[in-house]
Amino acid sequence: MRLLITGGCGFVGANLARHFLAKGWEVTVFDNLVRRGSEFNVVDLTALGARFVHGDVRCAEDLAGLPRFDAICETSAQPSAIDGYDNPLFDLTNNTFGLLNVLEKARRDESILIFWSTNKVYSGDRVNAIPLVEEPTRWAWDAASGYAAPGFSFARGISEKFDVDGGQHSIYGVSKICADLLCQEWFDAFGVRAVVNRFSCLGGPGQFGKSAQGWVAWWAIAFAFGLPLTYIGWDGKQVRDALFTPDINRLVELEITRIERCAGRVFNIGGGPECTLSLREMTAWCEKRYGRAVPVKILPTPRKADHVVYITDSSSAAEALGWRPQVTLERGLADIAAWVDKEHDRLKTLYSR
């Protein structure tokens, strides 16, 4: 199987590359290397047998010079949900028009396309309308409220049937829902075998995190180097479900090898109710793991378009592919911390003050 991974030297792309190289697939990683840390993955992945191509999905000519692939994983993106307000065009050119170039390559080559979408396609106004109760370390959905909406379950979370209308998506979220719909339309109009995964919070070894994106890894890195943290809104009690790289890799392999079951489909993908944590809970875990505290600043005003609580209902993927998350929260966090320990010297060049 010949696989192209766009954004292949980023966190998700590099982990996918390692997974499929170990399976004996022929893997090409395509990346513009603009994000710090991605240059480390060029060295590591080429040593494992991947082919590296320096290119940019925003440039159709960069993609046109590539050979045909059986499948393409489109993991390239401007991934921050807060940066786009300063430069909306940057988000759209990277995440929407870049995807369009990849879609057109998939159409020409009759390749399978797996696309990375996001939970930010769901409006902050709509998600935050779900009633809440405040608990000691987190906010939680108030099951006693009687709230009901299509695509929502107190027990399972938010599915792909949840309403995507409204504002408060962030510019990042808007750029992703545009791309998400392009994939669906290209399947219907041209038969491109595209699958859209609307992922929640992703984490794992190799994630060069920061507070705006990759926050779980960022917490571990901050504690390792004694860097300050910030709770932005909701007193640090906002909640996400976490999904870790082994489960991501396993999902994508199933989607590619069983494409007849999922072409044209949209899946909400996350760790689910069993794999949730708040910022405060992650801080407490790190304090125990590292035996230290770091300065924490508390800002009362939330980020625009942020969700208070977001938990994924992944039951559609379970029904279509038999996929369910297997990595527990404790194991996933421990794997990240072990990676930070192992890569201390490399990470020091990026994060130490």
Q: What is the Cα–Cα distance from 49 to 18, expressed in whole angstroms?
A: 9
Q: Which of 4, 180, 38 lies closest to 106 in space, CA to CA?
A: 4
Report how far apart, in Å, the C-alpha atoms of 185 and of each of 107, 109, 110, 120, 238 are. Answer: 12, 17, 15, 20, 34
Place of tokens 């980023």: 10
Two tokens at 152? Answer: 């929502």
Q: How far is CA 115 from the centre of its chain?
A: 11
Q: What is the Cα–Cα distance from 294 to 226, expressed in whole angstroms?
A: 6
Q: What is the Cα–Cα distance from 85 to 103, expressed in whole angstroms?
A: 26
Task: Kindly calculate the radius of gyration of the chain based on its CA atoms and give it in whole angstroms.
Answer: 19
Question: In this structure, how many other beta carbons lie within 10 angstroms of the beta carbon of residue 74?
Answer: 28
Of 85, 147, 172, 231, the catalytic one is: 172
What region, left, alpha or beta, does residue 252 occupy, with left being phi > 0 and alpha being psi -120 to 50 degrees? Answer: alpha
Does the active-site annotation cover 172? Answer: yes
Q: Phi then psi for 135, rounded to 5 degrees?
A: -110, 170
Question: In this structure, how many other beta carbons lie within 10 angstroms of the beta carbon of residue 182?
Answer: 20
Mind telling me the catalytic residues?
A: 172
